[in-house]
């Protein structure tokens, strides 16, 4: 089998209403699809996601790297030699890569290669990876800022997740430590003590401010505080992990096993969160998970549940997966676009199921593709 072509499609769909965390305002969902075609007629599909802005500059940079740098290295190669191809692409982009857009480009290609391998083998990816449990626990992620009536909307959203059967929920913090502590208290009182409450600060604070906030919310039994400081502030993470009674989680903005080696070896976090579309794809995600397992550390995901469900179902140290059900995401195309695997479309009792279809089990809705396509390369 040989790779005969690498094609990309860029899509953007605006949200009905912009949403905000502590770091940014998100106006929609932009996605890059990568199709790897072969001489046997089998095609694997991978994805990358952007910042949710109509201009899509981030996605266009990743697209350019795939087409101009990675595609020439891939043509004529055996797509089943995934680890070999990962090393080839990584070494071939060292001068302008190692982190950021180049690794994100490699990630989307790697995801496509695993999808292709599963289709060739007639097996779902989670089984190819070893398989741990098809049933995957998910936490309901949301809790964005809503303006003047923020607390009322926040409480309604979080209690709605609990009524839907979720046993863990996540909300945004990272603006004002005092006001955020009041928001946390309101949510904890509303959802009760039996539901796990996770917080995400989106890199907004320095270590000192984060510690002030932690002191205020520690009595509310917080499951973890995610990304309290900038991703490159490793010393800040170490300081927080040494002093905080709340576990610290991070990693969605980290790249490859080399970046995670420092987070894990220095005990900078209690939970690692590699994103399969950023860390280096499925190949690298599993290596990070195994590295974390060797240190007795859980490995949890960031967004993109349609792909992450396959790796979480294969990792014994992945206790749950991030899952978006907020109306803004349901109405945007990211959750509509992948109409399969069916088990990922709606969580029941706080769980979803990995697809048993060959590959990643993704089916693309042609009507949604036509509606939201911004650019196609052939």
CATH of the domain at 372: 3.30.390.10
In a domain, 281, yes or no: yes
**Region class of 52: left (phi > 0), else alpha (psi between -120 and 50), else beta:** left
Residue showing tokens 């999808």: 115
Active-site residue 2, yes or no?
A: no
Distances (CA, A) of 268 to 22, 259, 273, 307, 321: 22, 12, 13, 27, 21
**Cβ neighbours around 242 below 10 Å, total:** 10
Note the pLDDT of residue 328.
Answer: 44
Above 80 in pLDDT, residue 355?
Answer: yes
From residue 179, how far is each of 47, 136, 159, 176, 212 by CA, in Å?
A: 37, 34, 20, 5, 12
Catalytic residue among 71, 119, 170, 172: 172
136 and 242: one domain?
Answer: yes
Check whether residue 210 and residue 96 sit in a common domain.
no
Q: Is the dihedral of CA 309, 310, 311, 315 positive or negative?
A: positive
- Separation CA 310–CA 280 (nearest Å): 15
What's the number of CA atoms in the CB half-sphere (13 Å) around residue 210?
A: 31
Task: Please say if 37 is a catalytic residue.
Answer: no
Beta-ladder partners of 48: 32
Q: Which of 254, 287, 322, 326 is catalytic?
A: 322
- Name the active-site residue from 200, 227, 233, 254: 200
SS3 labels along the chain: CCEEEEEEEEEEEEEEEEEECCCCEEEEEEEEEEEEEECCCCEEEEEEECCCCCCCHHHHHHHHHHHHHHHHHHCCCCCCCHHHHHHHHHHHCCCCCCCCHHHHHHHHHHHHHHHHHHHHHCCEHHHHCCCCCCEEEEEEECCCECHHHHHHHHHHHHHHHHHCCCCEEEEECCCCHHHHHHHHHHHHHHHCCCCEEEEECCCCCCHHHHHHHHHHHHHHCEEEEECCCCCCCHHHHHHHHHHCCCCEEECCCCCHHHHHHHHHHCCCCCEECCCCCCCCHHHHHHHHHHHHHHCCCCECCCCCHHHHHHHHCCCCCCCCEEEECCHHHHHCHHHHHEEECHHHCCCECCEEECCCCCECCCEECHHHHHHHEEEEEC
| Beta pairing partners, 321 | 138
Taking only the tens place, the pLDDT of each residue in 94-148 is 999 999 999 999 999 999 999 999 999 999 999 999 999 999 999 999 898 877 6
Mean pLDDT for all residues in the chain: 91
142 plus 99 within the same structural domain? no
**pLDDT surpassing 90 at residue 254:** yes
On whether both 217 and 244 belong to a single domain, the answer is yes
pLDDT tens readout for residues 312-325: 999 999 999 999 87
Give the total number of structural domains in the chain: 2
Residues forming a β-bridge with 198: 170, 224
Q: Which of 218-222, 265-269, 365-369 has the lowest mean pLDDT?
A: 365-369
Least Cα distance to 275 among 124, 45, 100 occurs for: 100
Q: Looking at residues 158-172, what average pLDDT do you find?
A: 94
Lowest mean pLDDT segment, chosen from 159-163, 241-245, 360-364: 360-364
Entry pTM: 0.94
Q: Are residues 329 and 280 in the same domain?
A: yes
The catalytically annotated residue of 275, 306, 308, 326 is 275
Higher pLDDT, 146 or 75: 75
Which whole number is the average pLDDT over 62-75?
A: 97
302 is catalytic: yes
**Catalytic: which of 170, 302, 308, 326?**
302
322 is catalytic: yes
Same domain, 167 and 100: no
Residue of 252, 254, 284, 306 with catalytic role = 252
Handedness of CA 316, 306, 286, 290 (dihedral sign): negative
Contact 34, 109 (CB under 8 A): yes
Residues 189 and 313 placed together within one structural domain of the fold: yes
Of 3-7, 138-142, 225-229, 289-293, least confident by mean pLDDT is 138-142
Does residue 360 lie in a domain region? Answer: no
With the CA atoms of 64, 70, 76 and 79 taken in that order, what torsion angle do they form, in degrees rounded to the nearest 10?
-110
Q: Which residues contact 278 (CB under 8 A, 6 or more apart)?
A: 103, 104, 107, 252, 253, 254, 255, 302
Take residue 109 and report the two structure tokens written for it: 């290609």
Catalytic, out of 21, 63, 115, 226? 226
Catalytic-residue membership of 226: yes
Residue 131 lies in a domain: yes
**Is 306 a known active-site residue?**
no
In a domain, 359, yes or no: no
136 with 103, same domain: the answer is no
Is residue 336 annotated as a catalytic residue, yes or no?
A: no
> What CATH number does the domain containing 141 carry?
3.20.20.120
**Residue 242 domain boundaries:** 127-353
pLDDT of the residue at 224: 98
d(CA 256, CA 263): 12
Q: Do 30 and 134 fall within a single domain?
A: no
State how beta strands 168-172 and 135-141 pair.
Answer: parallel
């Amino acid at each position: 089998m040989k790779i005969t072509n690498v094609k990309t499609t860029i899509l953007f769909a605006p949200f009905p209403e912009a949403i905000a965390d502590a770091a940014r305002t998100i106006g929609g969902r932009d996605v890059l699809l990568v199709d790897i075609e072969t001489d046997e007629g089998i095609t694997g599909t991978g994805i990358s996601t952007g910042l949710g802005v109509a201009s899509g500059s981030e996605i266009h940079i990743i697209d350019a790297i795939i087409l101009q740098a990675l595609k020439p290295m891939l043509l004529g190669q055996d797509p089943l030699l995934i680890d070999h191809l990962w090393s080839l692409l990584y070494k071939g982009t060292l001068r302008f890569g190692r982190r950021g857009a180049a690794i994100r480009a490699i990630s989307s290609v790697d995801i496509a290669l695993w999808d292709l391998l599963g289709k060739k083998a007639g097996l779902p990816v989670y089984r190819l990876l070893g398989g741990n449990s098809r049933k995957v626990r998910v936490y309901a992620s949301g809790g964005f800022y809503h303006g003047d009536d923020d607390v009322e909307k926040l409480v309604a959203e979080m209690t709605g997740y609990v009524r839907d059967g979720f046993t863990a929920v996540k909300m945004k913090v990272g603006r004002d430590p005092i006001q955020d502590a009041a928001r946390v208290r309101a949510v904890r009182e509303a959802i009760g003590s039996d539901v796990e409450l996770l917080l995400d600060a989106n890199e907004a604070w320095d270590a000192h401010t984060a510690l002030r906030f932690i002191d205020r919310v520690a009595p509310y039994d917080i499951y973890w505080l995610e990304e309290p400081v900038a991703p490159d502030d490793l010393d800040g993470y170490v300081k927080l992990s040494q002093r905080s009674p709340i576990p610290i989680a991070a990693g969605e903005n980290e790249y490859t096993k080399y970046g995670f080696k420092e987070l894990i070896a220095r005990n900078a976090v209690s939970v690692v969160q590699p994103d399969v579309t950023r860390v280096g794809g499925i190949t690298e995600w599993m290596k990070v998970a195994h590295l974390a397992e060797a240190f007795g550390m859980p490995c949890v995901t960031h967004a993109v549940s349609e792909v992450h469900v396959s790796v979480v179902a294969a990792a014994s140290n992945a206790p749950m997966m991030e899952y978006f059900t907020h109306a803004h995401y349901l109405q945007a195309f990211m959750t509509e676009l992948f109409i399969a695997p069916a088990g990922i479309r709606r969580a029941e009792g706080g769980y979803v199921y990995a697809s048993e279809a060959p590959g990643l089990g993704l089916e693309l809705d042609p009507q949604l593709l036509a509606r939201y396509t911004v650019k196609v390369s052939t």
